[in-house]
């Protein structure tokens, strides 16, 4: 046994050495190319969104390079991104961030997917004073640590389903019901993102005086929500709110239909990247989805044109509709490009100061960072699946369609 262990350890160690030696050591610039670095989840449980993230970065880099690159001072630079696979594990992400900075000489880091990984990487970029712009770590506490080098272009996670509750209150009033009489059932994966979503909901529920009757936490390897949903069925809530990435969204849509659970408002996160409207047919009708961004919004910029044009370019390049995870990743690269130009230098400290002063409009929405580094200029949107398509129904200001309320149980 012990010799076997020894041999295995030796084999692993030599494999690790091989991998270690394989990577080159480019500097922050290679000739006239600025090198950005990113650890993204290409394998593991975040691999869907990890790929969205990478595609978003790649599209931005491609577009910027097509347009002649980024002008820093008098010289034009092309952009390039070095990627590593963080396997959806924070420890690996932290290791890879060290590696990007120390071995590959990267001086500008693009964010990983998910709050957990961003949380692991942020202390490293902070330690080496490397600007870190991310579009996929939405945890509120990322921006309460006093980090100076971390910037997030997206709305923080406590805003994801907050508006579903606000909207429920609005709709209740319109239908002559006191929002105080509304009951909430909710379930969350036990990860930092979803727990922030939960905190936001609790705040909103308190504001409107709504009662929370079911409050379950789902394990990450969840394959079945029957136990939680049995409870939901018994307490007959007015709102069902779920945050569990693609799997959670898919499961709740499938199982509330199969278990015939009739709830007026059902809202989840990640249902657009889970493609519920495309693949789940009638079961998905009337489900509300929280989203950072939508192609129908009236935002515009000089790189991609309108949000809709961005979506078209993306679809042409990658053959699937642009999810917001990709849009916010693209926006992160645009923030760097804009900051390089304004800083007129590739000195990380100067670039950092330029990023902090960002005030720009993109196809993804307005970007302006507060002193903690989060983008406070852009609101969240809520979709509803109507007729097999995602329609923006909230905030009412930009809503293309009116919400269908109450949601009717689909008949199979």
Partner 1 sequence: MENLRLLFDAPILTVQILLDGILIGAIFALAAYGMMLVWGVLNIINVAQGELVMLGGYVAFFLYKAGINPLFGVPLAAVLLFVVGWLLYRIVIFRIVDKDLFISILATFGLSILIQQLAKVAFSPDVRTPQTGFGSISMFSGAVTVTWIKIISFAAALVTGGVLVWFLRTTRMGQAIRATSQNARAARVMGIDTDRVYAWTFGVNAAICGASGALVAMTYLVDPYIGLPYTIRSFMIVIVAGLGNISAVLATAIGLGASENVAAFLFGAEYQIAFVYGLLVVILISRRILLARQRRYLA
Q: Out of 19, 22, 31, 223, name the contact with partner 1 by CB under 8 A.
A: 223
Q: Quickly list DSSP for 269-317.
A: ESTTTTTHHHHSGGGGTT-EEEES--TTS--EETTTEEHHHHHHHHHHH
The C-alpha atoms of residue 347 and residue 402 are separated, in whole angstroms, by: 49
Q: What are phi and psi of 128, to 5 degrees?
A: -90, 5
Taking the CB of residue 43, how many other CB atoms lie within 10 A of it?
A: 12
Instruction: Map residue 167 onto helix, strand or coil.
Output: helix
- Site membership for partner 1, residue 1 (CB under 8 A): yes
Instruction: Map residue 96 onto helix, strand or coil.
Output: helix
**Distance in Å, CB of 409 to partner 1, minimum:** 11
- Site membership for partner 1, residue 392 (CB under 8 A): no
State the binding string over 15-54 for partner 1 (x if CB under 8 A, else -). ----------------------------xxx-xx--x---
> How big is the CA angle at 11 (ends 10 and 12), to the nearest 5 degrees?
90
The C-alpha atoms of residue 350 and residue 49 are separated, in whole angstroms, by: 31
Q: Which CB atom, from 67 or from 259, has the smaller least distance to partner 1? A: 259
> How big is the CA angle at 29 (ends 25 and 31), to the nearest 5 degrees?
100
Taking the CB of residue 376, how many other CB atoms lie within 10 A of it?
A: 14
Alpha helices by DSSP H, 88-213: 90-102, 115-127, 162-174, 192-208
Q: Out of 9, 235, 302, 357, name the contact with partner 1 by CB under 8 A.
A: 235
Interface segment toward partner 1; rule CB under 8 A; list 166-174, 228-236, 295-303, 372-380: 228-236
- Site membership for partner 1, residue 146 (CB under 8 A): no
- Site membership for partner 1, residue 315 (CB under 8 A): no
Q: Which CB atom, from 256 or from 355, has the smaller least distance to partner 1? A: 256
**Distance in Å, CB of 58 to partner 1, minimum:** 17
Of residues 150 through 209, those in contact with partner 1 by CB under 8 A are: 187, 190
**Distance in Å, CB of 53 to partner 1, minimum:** 13
Instruction: Map residue 318 onto helix, strand or coil.
Output: helix
**Distance in Å, CB of 266 to partner 1, minimum:** 17
Q: Which CB atom, from 298 or from 411, has the smaller least distance to partner 1? A: 411
**Distance in Å, CB of 226 to partner 1, minimum:** 4
The C-alpha atoms of residue 197 and residue 269 are separated, in whole angstroms, by: 9
Answer whether the bond into residue 406 is a cis peptide, omega within 30°: yes
**Distance in Å, CB of 384 to partner 1, minimum:** 20
**Distance in Å, CB of 222 to partner 1, minimum:** 7
**Distance in Å, CB of 224 to partner 1, minimum:** 6
- Site membership for partner 1, residue 221 (CB under 8 A): yes
Distances (CA, A) of 130 to 60, 134, 180, 279, 309: 20, 13, 48, 41, 32
Taken in order 81, 290, 323, 310, the sign of the CA dihedral is negative
Of residues 239 through 298, those in contact with partner 1 by CB under 8 A are: 246-247, 250-251, 254, 258-260, 274-275, 279-281
Among 316, 15, 362, smallest CA distance to 154 is for 362
The C-alpha atoms of residue 402 and residue 235 are separated, in whole angstroms, by: 28
Of residues 70 through 109, those in contact with partner 1 by CB under 8 A are: none
Interface segment toward partner 1; rule CB under 8 A; list 156-164, 224-232, 290-298, 396-404: 224-232
**Distance in Å, CB of 84 to partner 1, minimum:** 15
Backbone Cα Rg of the chain? 22
**Distance in Å, CB of 130 to partner 1, minimum:** 29
Size of the site for partner 1 (CB under 8 A): 43
Q: Out of 30, 170, 216, 309, name the contact with partner 1 by CB under 8 A.
A: 216
- Footprint of partner 1 on this chain (CB under 8 A)? 1, 4-5, 8, 43-45, 47-48, 51, 187, 190, 216-219, 221-228, 230-231, 233-235, 246-247, 250-251, 254, 258-260, 274-275, 279-281, 412
């Amino acid at each position: 046994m012990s010799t076997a262990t020894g041999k295995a350890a030796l084999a692993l160690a030599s494999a690790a050495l091989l991998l270690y030696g394989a990577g080159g050591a480019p500097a922050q610039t290679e000739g006239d190319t600025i090198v950005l670095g990113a650890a993204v989840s290409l394998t593991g449980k975040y691999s869907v969104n990890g790929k969205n993230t990478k595609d978003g970065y790649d599209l931005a880099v491609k577009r910027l390079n097509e347009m002649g690159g980024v002008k820093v001072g008098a010289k034009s630079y092309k952009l390039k991104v070095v990627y590593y696979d963080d396997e959806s594990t924070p420890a690996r992400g932290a290791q890879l961030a060290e590696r990007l900075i120390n071995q590959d000489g990267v001086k500008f880091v693009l964010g990983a997917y998910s709050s957990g990984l961003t949380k692991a990487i942020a202390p490293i970029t902070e330690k080496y004073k490397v600007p870190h712009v991310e579009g996929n770590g939405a945890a509120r506490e990322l921006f309460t640590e006093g980090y100076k080098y971390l910037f997030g272009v997206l709305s923080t996670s406590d805003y994801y389903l907050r508006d579903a509750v606000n909207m429920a209150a609005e709709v209740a009033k319109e239908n002559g019901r006191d929002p105080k009489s509304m009951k909430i059932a909710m379930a969350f994966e036990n990860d930092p993102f979803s727990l922030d979503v939960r905190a936001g909901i609790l705040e909103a529920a308190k504001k409107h005086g709504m009662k929370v009757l079911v409050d379950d936490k789902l394990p990450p390897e969840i394959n079945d929500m029957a136990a939680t949903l049995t409870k939901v069925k018994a307490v007959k809530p007015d709102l069902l709110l779920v945050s569990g990435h693609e799997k959670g969204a898919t499961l709740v849509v499938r199982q509330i239909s199969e278990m015939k659970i009739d709830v007026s408002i059902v809202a989840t996160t990640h249902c657009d990247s889970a493609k519920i409207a495309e693949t789940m047919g009638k079961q998905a009708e009337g489900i509300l989805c929280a989203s950072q961004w939508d192609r129908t919004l009236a935002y515009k910029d000089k790189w991609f044109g309108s949000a809709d044009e961005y979506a078209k370019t993306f679809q042409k390049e990658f053959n699937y509709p642009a999810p917001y995870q990709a849009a916010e990743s693209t926006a992160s690269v645009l923030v760097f490009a804009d900051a390089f130009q304004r800083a007129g230098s590739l000195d990380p400290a100067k670039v950092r100061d330029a990023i902090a002063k960002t005030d720009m409009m993109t196809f993804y929405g307005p970007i302006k960072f507060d002193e903690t580094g989060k983008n406070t200029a852009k609101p969240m949107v809520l979709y509803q699946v109507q007729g097999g398509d995602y329609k923006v129904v909230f905030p009412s200001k930009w809503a293309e369609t009116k919400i269908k309320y109450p949601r009717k149980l689909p008949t199979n």
